Amino acid sequence: MTFSIVARSADGETWGVAVASKFLAVGSAVPAAVAGVGALATQADANVAYKGLALSHLDEGATAPVALQRLLDEDEGRSHRQVGIVDLDGTAAAHTGVDCIPWAGDRTGEGYAVQGNCLAGEEVVEEMERAWLASDVDAALQDRLLAALAAGDAAGGDRRGRQSAAMLVVRDEAGYGGLDDVAVDLRVDDHVAPIEELTRLLGLHDLYLTASTEAEKVAVDDALRADLEAFAAAAGHRDFRAWVGTENYEMRVAADLAWIDRRVLAIVRGDG
């Protein structure tokens, strides 16, 4: 009772899953991913044990088709399962059990697997695949995944309605402070328009939890540093670094204040 896309970025550095369903907190059950290993979605009558098992198989060198076959061979409930897997090299595999609630089916290609069950129709996965293939291969993976998910929703999505959506994206050293591989981990557990809410959260994530690119960095000279410290003092903070921490802009301002993100600078100057 869910539709999802599992994919690897064109540069081979990022893996992710985006999913939506008429099911509470779908993100707690469906997606799993590890950078440098692969990603998967387990749904329909989801076997959540697939997540750890599949990632273990992939980590040991199995391809997506081999990992998938191992899962199915060991699972007597395989006819009720649906799963999509993308491995280290971008090879994809998917399975839709014969007893999944119709419409149910999947599509795979180089670097992606799209799957859904209890859908409005085949057009849901067709439009998801089309949106994925039409998206800019140089765009951030989370943006491509979101475009595919939104296309599936627009095509009718889960025929029971809408309730939750989630996204998990991994890349080496992409997490908070560069200390883990979680680039994006967002869940909308119960909402009347979960994909729209996921879109809003992804925009906030981009500002607060994504490191600034070189193009977004503005060098801080002595004059600008003085202005920033004066701004922080006027706002009642010990110094500008304290203001940065209070406002959660740590990913957008250098620890030594050598640079500041242009969007944060605009906020300081009242232009944001």
Mean pLDDT of 11-18: 98
For residues 34 and 139, state if they share a domain.
yes
Write down the residue that tokens 């060098």 correspond to: 219
Q: CA 15, CA 92: separation in Å to the nearest integer?
A: 12
For residues 19 and 95, state if they share a domain.
yes
Instruction: Determine the pLDDT at residue 1.
Output: 73
How does pLDDT run across 176-187, given as a tens digit for each residue?
A: 878 899 999 999
Instruction: Determine the pLDDT at residue 178.
Output: 83
Average pLDDT for the chain: 97
Return the HEC string of 188-221.
ECCCCCHHHHHHHHHHHHHHHCCCCCHHHEEECC
DSSP, res 265: H
For residues 122 and 226, state if they share a domain.
no
Domain that holds residue 224: 214-268
For residues 201 and 229, state if they share a domain.
no
Instruction: Determine the pLDDT at residue 271.
Output: 86
For residues 196 and 161, state if they share a domain.
yes
For residues 196 and 117, state if they share a domain.
yes
Q: Provide the domain count of the chain.
A: 2
Last residue of a domain, one of 158, 177, 208: 208
Instruction: Determine the pLDDT at residue 166.
Output: 98
How does pLDDT run across 103-162, given as a tens digit for each residue?
A: 999 999 999 999 999 999 999 999 999 999 999 999 999 999 999 999 999 999 999 999
For residues 98 and 168, state if they share a domain.
yes
Proportion of the chain above pLDDT 70, given as a percent: 100
Indicate the SS3 state at residue 86. strand
